């Protein structure tokens, strides 16, 4: 793909494809999980949940080769490098080897997991062992699928990816549900899930052959590419391992210092606020390979433009929603979990909403650093933050309770964001020129409207009045954004998207 083809229209389309691809399965899961729970029973459903977790987390054990594949294939695409087949097959076969090792490891430890680690009733022991062994057979393809999907991401083929990913993710919830009329139990359900993963893997491979014909014409294994792949992937792995620890360690601190009940009061608002990560996560999947391609194609102006527009887009979409969540934290929690929960967690939700907003914009410099070949920095930042965060979390929890945990998390996020933006400027990946950041300044000015006026919704007034005030504030914000923030190309893009959406609605009717 020529770097001139990486346009705002392409990035925006792929962003929303990714957003839908990640969001739709989450919504389906909300409806199907209660049905599965009633059919399977609490313990059997718990075992299925463990298998889901293993299936979902297995992709993290590719030692970062999936992300490395995306980066290096994107560079090949950006400069039309003929070494693409060698890179593809070397990465793919390396991941198959890791998958085989992972399968052997899971097979070996299955008896230990079933009989010692997991507290399973005797009636479910045999079924759990069979389910885990079936899952082990699937691991080589699950892990290898990261290279196949990464290759398509590098070529900005997100429509094809989501044609596969959406059904594959939906199958996690729907296949167990469809097995109910046939009386399938745990082992049969796992077989269905493995079959779906096999189908998805072959579909990814077929699309790779379609969009990159040289891959099927030339099988090449280049040993010299293994070292750069593993060097890059190794640092990505550090981030992948430390990142979840930074995300979930607060719950262990809350449970040990306060109580397990407090964990519930903390986790619920965290889950509400963190759902907004779908916006930057889906954008990161799109811009990460674009950054690599643009750098390889020496298109610095396009790269800087994409960087700024990505920050601007995340702020304009995420900030108003998170500000509304903060303004109506008590009402949201009351409607979802009741007034007692709202009393205990409303202030925590407001603080976490601030942290999620700060973290959302950090996805862009994070993607830029990894896309331009510096995953070591993101990993080192995480390693630096971990002990500092642990100390801050302990101190704030002891002094301030649950809001203290939220503030400790938000401060850690703020430090991470400062480090990421500082690294981008220090390495001069993006120029510090004033014209470049003018759109961001305008965006921040526009955001002062909801930031200043939405807190008025917290006053003691009927909910209808608060909602009306908030709606008016957001309308004013939209007007300011349209007249002051968006440029001509962005307005044209929105108009075209609106026309296309109306046309599709008319066809549907």
pLDDT band at 10 (very low <50, low <70, confident <90, very high): low
Distance of CA 297 to the CA centre of its chain: 27
Residue 374: which residues within 8 A CB-CB, separation 6 or more? 423, 427
Going by C-alpha positions, the residue among 481, 357, 345 that lies closest to residue 414 is: 357
- The span from the CA of 195 to the CA of 200, in Å, is 9
- The span from the CA of 166 to the CA of 177, in Å, is 17
pLDDT digits (tens, 9 = 90+) for 486-502: 877 777 777 766 766 56
pLDDT for the residue 396: 92
Tell me what percent of the residues of the chain surpass a pLDDT of 70.
84
Task: Decide if 454 contacts 323 (C-beta within 8 A).
Answer: yes
- The span from the CA of 448 to the CA of 209, in Å, is 49
pLDDT for the residue 344: 82
Pairs from 394-399 (Cβ < 8 Å, separation ≥ 24): 394/253, 394/257, 397/253, 397/254, 397/257, 397/258, 398/257
Report whether pLDDT(411) > 90.
yes
Task: Provide the residue ranges of all domains of the chain, joining segments of one domain with +.
Answer: 1-221, 238-432, 433-509
Residue 328: which residues within 8 A CB-CB, separation 6 or more? 457, 466, 470
* 414 membership: H or E segment, kind and range: helix 402-426
Average pLDDT, the chain: 79
pLDDT for the residue 459: 62
pLDDT band at 273 (very low <50, low <70, confident <90, very high): confident
Tell me what percent of the residues of the chain surpass a pLDDT of 90.
8
Among 282-286, 411-415, 462-466, name the most confident range.
411-415
Task: Decide if 301 contacts 436 (C-beta within 8 A).
Answer: no
pLDDT band at 2 (very low <50, low <70, confident <90, very high): very low
Q: Which of residues 505 and 249 earns the better pLDDT score?
A: 249
pLDDT digits (tens, 9 = 90+) for 303-361: 888 888 888 888 888 888 888 888 888 888 887 777 887 888 888 999 999 999 999 99
Instruction: Calculate mean pLDDT across residues 387-409.
Output: 91
- The span from the CA of 254 to the CA of 301, in Å, is 46
- The span from the CA of 135 to the CA of 54, in Å, is 9
Going by C-alpha positions, the residue among 458, 447, 451, 446 that lies closest to residue 327 is: 458
Residue in this structure with the two tokens 């083809």, named with its chain if needed = 5
Report whether pLDDT(399) > 70.
yes
- The span from the CA of 186 to the CA of 188, in Å, is 6
Instruction: Calculate mean pLDDT across residues 234-239.
Output: 76
């Amino acid at each position: 793909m020529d770097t001139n083809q990486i346009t705002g229209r392409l990035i925006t389309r792929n962003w929303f494809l990714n957003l839908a691809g990640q969001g739709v399965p989450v919504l389906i899961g909300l409806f199907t999980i209660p049905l599965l729970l009633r059919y399977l029973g609490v313990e059997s459903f718990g075992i299925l949940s463990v298998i889901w977790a293993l299936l979902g987390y297995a992709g993290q054990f590719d030692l970062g080769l999936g992300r490395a594949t995306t980066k290096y294939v994107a560079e090949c695409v950006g400069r039309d490098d003929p070494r693409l087949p060698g890179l593809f097959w070397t990465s793919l076969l390396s991941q198959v080897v890791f998958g085989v090792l992972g399968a052997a490891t899971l097979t070996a430890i299955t008896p230990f997991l079933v009989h010692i680690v997991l507290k399973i009733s005797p009636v479910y022991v045999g079924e759990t062992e069979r389910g885990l062994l079936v899952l082990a057979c699937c691991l080589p393809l699950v892990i290898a699928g990261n290279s196949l999907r990464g290759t398509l991401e590098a070529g900005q083929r997100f429509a094809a990816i989501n044609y596969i990913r959406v059904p594959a993710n939906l199958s996690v919830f729907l296949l167990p549900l469809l097995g109910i009329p046939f009386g399938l139990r745990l082992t049969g359900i796992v077989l269905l899930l493995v079959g779906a993963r096999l189908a998805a893997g072959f579909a990814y491979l077929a699309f790779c052959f379609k969009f990159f014909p040289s891959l099927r014409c030339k099988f090449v294994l280049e040993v010299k590419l293994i070292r750069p792949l593993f060097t890059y992937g190794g640092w990505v792995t550090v981030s992948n391992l430390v990142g979840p620890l930074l995300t979930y360690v607060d719950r262990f601190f809350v449970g040990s210092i306060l109580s397990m009940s407090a964990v519930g009061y903390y986790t619920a608002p965290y889950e509400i606020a963190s759902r907004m990560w779908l916006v930057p996560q889906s954008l990161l999947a799109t811009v990460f390979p674009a950054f690599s391609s643009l750098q390889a194609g020496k298109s610095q102006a396009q790269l800087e433009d994409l960087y700024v527009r990505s920050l601007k887009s995340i702020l304009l979409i995420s900030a108003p929603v998170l500000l509304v969540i903060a303004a109506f934290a008590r009402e949201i929690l009351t409607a979802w979990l009741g007034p007692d929960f709202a009393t205990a967690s409303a202030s925590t939700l407001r603080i976490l909403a601030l942290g999620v907003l700060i973290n959302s914009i950090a996805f862009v410099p994070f993607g830029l650093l990894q896309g331009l070949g510096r995953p070591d920095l993101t990993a080192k930042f995480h390693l630096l933050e971990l002990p500092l965060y642990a100390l801050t979390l302990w101190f704030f929890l002891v002094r301030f309770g649950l809001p203290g945990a939220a503030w400790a998390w938000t401060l850690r996020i703020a430090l991470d964001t400062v480090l990421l933006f500082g690294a981008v400027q220090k390495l001069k990946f993006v120029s510090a020129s004033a014209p470049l950041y003018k759109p961001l300044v305008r965006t921040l000015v526009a955001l002062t409207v909801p930031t200043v006026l939405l807190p008025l919704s917290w006053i003691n007034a009927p909910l209808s009045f608060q909602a009306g005030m908030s709606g008016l504030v957001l309308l004013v914000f939209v007007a300011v954004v349209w007249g002051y923030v968006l440029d001509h190309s962005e307005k044209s893009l929105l108009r075209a998207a609106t026309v296309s959406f109306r046309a599709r609605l008319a066809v549907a009717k």
